[in-house]
Amino acid sequence: MRRRAPTGSGSVTARALRVLEAFAPDRSVLRLAEISRHTGLPLTTTHRLVRELAGWGALEREADGGYRIGLRLWEIASLAPRGLGLREAALPYLSDLGHITRENVQLAVREELSVVYVERLAGRDAVPVLTRVGGRFDLAPTGVGLVLLAHAPLDVQERVLSRPFVRHTEKTLCDPDEVRRALAEVRRTGIAISDRQVTMDAVSVAAPVCGPDDTAVAAVSVVAHAGTVNPHALVPLVRIAARGISRSLGARLKSSAA
C-alpha cells in the first residue's frame, strides 16, 4: 500500500509523481477531483500539476474531461534498458516458446522486492493469469520471481524472507525455511517450478536470463494449466528460450544454470 504524504508536502517533482501514481489498471481514467482524492493534494494544486503534465504529454485529456496516462510518458519509459532492449532481444524466443507450448509466456525483471513483467504473450485457450505488462507481483510465489530471488544479492533475499508472506492459495509457500529450500533448488537446477502458488489452476516453469557478465538479469517462464501439463516436460523448452535470450544479450553461458 502506498503511503500518502501529508497534504501540501513534498517538492514539485514529488507532487507530480504522486499525480502519476494515482493512475492504476483499475482506474486508468481519472477526473481532477478523483486525482486530488487519491493523492491527498488540494484541488488547486492538482489542477496546476495536471495542466502542466498534460501540456508536456505525460497526461492526455479525454473528451469527457477525464485524464489518462499520455503517450509521451510511454515513449520516455521505453528507453529503460531493462524494458525495451530486453524485450526486443527476447521477443523472437518468446514467440517461438508460445507457439510451441500454446501457453502463456512471460518475461520479467526484479525491481527491489517485486517482480515487474516486461512482456507477456497469451496462448490460445491458456490458463488466465493475474499478471500484466508493467505490473508488479510478489517474488516468492511466482516462477519468475523464484528465479530472480534465487539469484538476487543475499541482503535482498533476507529482506524478502523476513517479511510476512501473502498466502494466495493453499499451496503458497509461506514458511521462510521452505522458501530457502526452494531457492536453493533453483540455484542447483537452474529452473523454478511454481505449482499452484498464485492460483489453483496454474503452474509456472521459469529459467534465468543472463547478461554479458553471466549474471541473471531477467527470467522467462511458461504458465500452463495445472494438472493437464507435466511441468517437467516444459523445462527443456523454457531452458532453450532462456539460453537464446541470454546469448542475444551477450552472455557467455559458462554456467550450466543458464
Distance CA 237, CA 222 (A): 9
Which run of H or of E encompasses 107?
Answer: strand 104-111
Domain boundaries, the chain: 12-76, 81-248
C-alpha cell of residue 96: 517461438
Which of the four pLDDT bands, split at 50, 70 and 90, describes residue 2? very low
The whole-number average pLDDT for the span 123-133 is 76
CB distance 172 to 166 below 8 Å: yes
pLDDT digits (tens, 9 = 90+) for 3-21: 444 444 568 888 898 999 8
The whole-number average pLDDT for the span 193-205 is 93
CA distances from residue 51 to 5, 20, 54, 56, 67 in whole angstroms, order as listed: 21, 13, 5, 9, 10
The total of other beta-carbon atoms located within 10 Å of residue 113's CB is 17
- Residue 97: which of 121, 61, 68 has the closest Cα? 121
Written out in words, the top-level CATH class of the domain with range 12-76 is mainly alpha
Query: Can you give the pLDDT at residue 82?
Result: 54
Distance CA 213, CA 253 (A): 9
Query: Can you give the pLDDT at residue 78?
Result: 62
Query: Can you give the pLDDT at residue 79?
Result: 61
pLDDT digits (tens, 9 = 90+) for 152-175: 999 999 999 999 999 999 999 999
CATH of 81-248, one of 1.10.287.3510, 3.30.420.40, 3.30.70.270, 3.30.450.40: 3.30.450.40
